[in-house]
């Protein structure tokens, strides 16, 4: 083994494994079962125009524990991706830049034909590129799942430039995972989106970012998650999520922020878990149109704007039947005596008397 060093200085043995990397060209088509091994790590994924490495339907890509992948742009998954690290040796998708920044790479995209994929003990960081070609903004998610169900357990999504994880008409399971310092943690969209998000942590930086955004008629089950230091823990548009056992603390809005442009077009139930915060302006406010909005006993709803309509039920029904022990409460955004400090300003503001 050759020895390299400086005269009269301490020498070190040359380790050839430190100089190895594997280049995956933009034209790479993975059409048969393939393993990305630790011995050939890191893997550098190239791109060229609209060409990206692609795993074809019917093929399986296995990524071994401890492997590092550095995309320049995207990896397309039409087949089955089995990326299963361990707590001691997680798999890492990260930047290929000397000084990493959010948005250094774009996305891992799971196409509708992809089946059986598993992400376990994987870290995703510095992806989710924002791109503005010809004055048309394009925002990528670090992981983008289109209809395909993927199992995600014990993963970390952090420092994404835009969206960390997007679920479009997907019934993905997300469990025991961490979403930290992303512009948006999870975006759930589409009437066929029925994912389960449970036992996970959503953290912002200096009250910035959104934990989970839900729209397009999606109906996720969101349970036993912890939201902290965000702007919006949950941003609700036209959707009917089921909440249970979730905790919020030190967020700009400590509850479910119901956007003023929301028009609910399917029957939905508001649960006694997180406080619902109704935001409106002069001509726009949350509206239940032609639907039944049922509010469970014990649910708390707070209006964040005293000048405008908080909620409108149009050609539909509002069913709000509390009990003596669990009344339904409509109150001010500034009312800390019910549902805690929803506007997160301590005792600086109070309801008008």
What one-character-per-residue DSSP string does 221-257 give? EEES-EEES-SEEEEESS---EEES-EEES-SS-SEE
Sequence-ordered list of residues with C-beta below 8 angstroms from that of 112, at least 6 positions apart, any chain:
146, 147, 148
Q: Which domains does the chain show, CATH number per domain?
A: 21-332 (2.160.20)
> Which structure tokens are listed for 33?
């079962």
In whole angstroms, give the CA distance from residue 84 to residue 79.
16
Label residue 129 by pLDDT band (50, 70, 90).
confident
What are the percentages of helix, strand and coil residues in the chain, rounded to 5? Answer: 5, 40, 55
pLDDT at 159 over 90: yes
In whole angstroms, give the CA distance from residue 1 to residue 211.
52
105: closest CA among 136, 132, 143, 79?
143
In whole angstroms, give the CA distance from residue 202 to residue 301.
23
In whole angstroms, give the CA distance from residue 321 to residue 35.
57
pLDDT at 17 over 70: no
In whole angstroms, give the CA distance from residue 285 to residue 118.
40
Mean pLDDT on 182-205: 97
pLDDT at 315 over 60: yes
Decide which of 114 and 316 is more confident: 114
Q: What is the pLDDT of residue 244?
A: 97
pLDDT at 46 over 90: yes
pLDDT at 48 over 80: yes
In whole angstroms, give the CA distance from residue 241 to residue 214.
8
pLDDT at 140 over 80: yes
Q: What is the pLDDT of residue 264?
A: 86
- Is-cis flag, bond preceding 42, omega within 30? yes
| Placement of tokens 């990206």 in the chain | 52
In whole angstroms, give the CA distance from residue 299 to residue 145.
33
Q: What is the pLDDT of residue 309?
A: 61
Q: What is the pLDDT of residue 133?
A: 53
Is 259:286 a contact under the CB 8 Å cutoff?
A: yes
> Which structure tokens are listed for 163?
């969206």
Decide which of 264 and 38 is more confident: 38
Mean pLDDT of the chain: 90
| Placement of tokens 């050759």 in the chain | 2
> Which structure tokens are listed for 57?
């339907």
> Which structure tokens are listed for 348?
């600086």
In whole angstroms, give the CA distance from residue 92 to residue 336.
42
Is 55:30 a contact under the CB 8 Å cutoff?
A: yes
Mean pLDDT on 196-201: 99
Quick one: DSSP state of residue 39?
G
Summarised one tens digit per residue, pLDDT across range 225-283 is 999 999 999 999 999 999 999 999 999 999 999 988 788 888 899 999 999 999 887 67
Least confident of 28-37, 132-141, 189-198: 132-141
Q: What is the pLDDT of residue 137?
A: 59
> Which structure tokens are listed for 262?
């929301």
Q: What is the pLDDT of residue 7?
A: 52
pLDDT at 18 over 80: no
What percentage of the chain reaches a pLDDT higher than 70? 91
Q: What is the pLDDT of residue 283?
A: 74
| Placement of tokens 């939201």 in the chain | 227
Sequence-ordered list of residues with C-beta below 8 angstroms from that of 7, at least 6 positions apart, any chain:
none
Q: What is the pLDDT of residue 54?
A: 97
Label residue 136 by pLDDT band (50, 70, 90).
low
Q: What is the pLDDT of residue 14?
A: 38
pTM: 0.90
């Amino acid at each position: 083994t050759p020895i390299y060093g400086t005269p009269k200085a301490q020498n070190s043995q040359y380790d050839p494994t430190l100089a190895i990397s594997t280049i995956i060209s933009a034209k790479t088509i993975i059409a048969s079962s393939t393993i990305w091994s630790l011995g050939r790590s890191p893997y550098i994924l190239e791109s060229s125009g609209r060409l990206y490495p692609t795993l074809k339907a019917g093929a399986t890509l296995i990524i071994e524990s401890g492997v590092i992948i550095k995309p320049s742009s995207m990896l397309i998954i039409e087949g089955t991706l089995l990326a299963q690290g361990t707590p001691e040796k997680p798999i890492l998708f990260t930047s290929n830049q000397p000084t990493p920044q959010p948005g250094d790479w774009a996305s891992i995209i799971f196409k509708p034909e992809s089946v059986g994929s598993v992400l376990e003990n994987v870290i995703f960081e510095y992806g989710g590129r924002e791109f503005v070609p010809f004055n048309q903004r394009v925002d990528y998610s670090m992981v983008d799942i289109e209809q395909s169900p993927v199992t995600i357990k014990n993963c970390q999504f952090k420092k994404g430039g835009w969206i960390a994880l997007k679920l479009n008409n997907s019934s993905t399971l997300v469990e025991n995972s961490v979403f930290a310092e992303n512009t948006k943690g999870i975006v759930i969209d589409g009437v066929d989106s029925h994912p389960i998000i449970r036992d996970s942590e959503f953290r912002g930086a200096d009250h910035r970012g959104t934990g989970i955004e839900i729209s397009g008629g999606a109906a996720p089950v969101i349970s036993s998650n912890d939201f902290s230091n965000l702007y919006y823990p949950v941003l609700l548009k036209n959707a009917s999520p089921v909440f249970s056992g979730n905790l919020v603390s030190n967020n700009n809005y400590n509850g479910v922020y119901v956007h003023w442009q929301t028009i609910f077009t399917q029957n939905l139930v508001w649960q006694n878990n997180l406080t619902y915060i109704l935001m409106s302006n002069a001509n726009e406010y949350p509206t239940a149109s032609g639907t039944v909005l049922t509010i469970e006993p014990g649910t708390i709803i707070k209006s964040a704007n005293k000048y405008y309509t908080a909620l409108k039920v149009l050609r539909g029904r509002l069913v709000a039947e509390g009990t003596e022990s669990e009344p339904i409460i409509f109150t001010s955004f500034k009312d800390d005596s019910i549902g805690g400090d929803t506007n997160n300003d301590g005792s600086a503001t109070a309801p008008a008397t």
